[in-house]
Amino acid sequence: MGNVTSLQGPIEKIDGKLTLLIPLEAGGDQFIECSKGISEIQGEYLKITIPEWLSGMLRIEEGSLVSVDNENGKFNIHPINPGLVQ
């Protein structure tokens, strides 16, 4: 089992969709393998679009702060101070 990478950042709304942009140079490159199928490399970022069902389940919206990690070889996303999403 390799090292676990953990990062925090805000959820943004891009083209009407909730999106997480993880800078590759800040550790986003560590999430490429575990996020295959849900992510794409866009310039200097790993871009992950959050489906509506998941944002509702996690209670996150535009501006929400989340933590991501690659524990157990999987892409994990956790809300920081989840709120009531409308």
Q: Identify each DSSP E strand in the chain by its residue range.
A: 6-10, 12-14, 17-23, 39-42, 45-49, 65-69, 76-80
Is 86 inside any structural domain? Answer: no
Residue 27 lies in a domain: yes
Q: What distance in Å separates the CA atoms of residue 4 and residue 34, rounded to the nearest whole number?
A: 11
Q: How many domains does the chain have?
A: 1
Classify residue 30: in a domain, yes or no. yes
Nearest to 49 by CA among 7, 86, 5, 12: 12
Q: How far apart are CA 2 and CA 51, in angstroms?
A: 28
> Global pTM?
0.87
Q: Which domain holds residue 56?
A: 6-80
Structural domain contains residue 85: no
Does any domain span residue 43? yes
pLDDT of 81 over the 70 cut: yes
Q: Does residue 44 lie in a domain region?
A: yes
Confidence of residue 2 (pLDDT cuts 50, 70, 90): low
Give domain status of residue 48, yes or no.
yes
- Alpha-helical (H) ranges within the chain are 52-58
pLDDT, tens digit, 9 for 90 and up, residues 21-74: 999 999 999 999 999 999 999 999 999 999 999 999 999 999 999 999 999 999
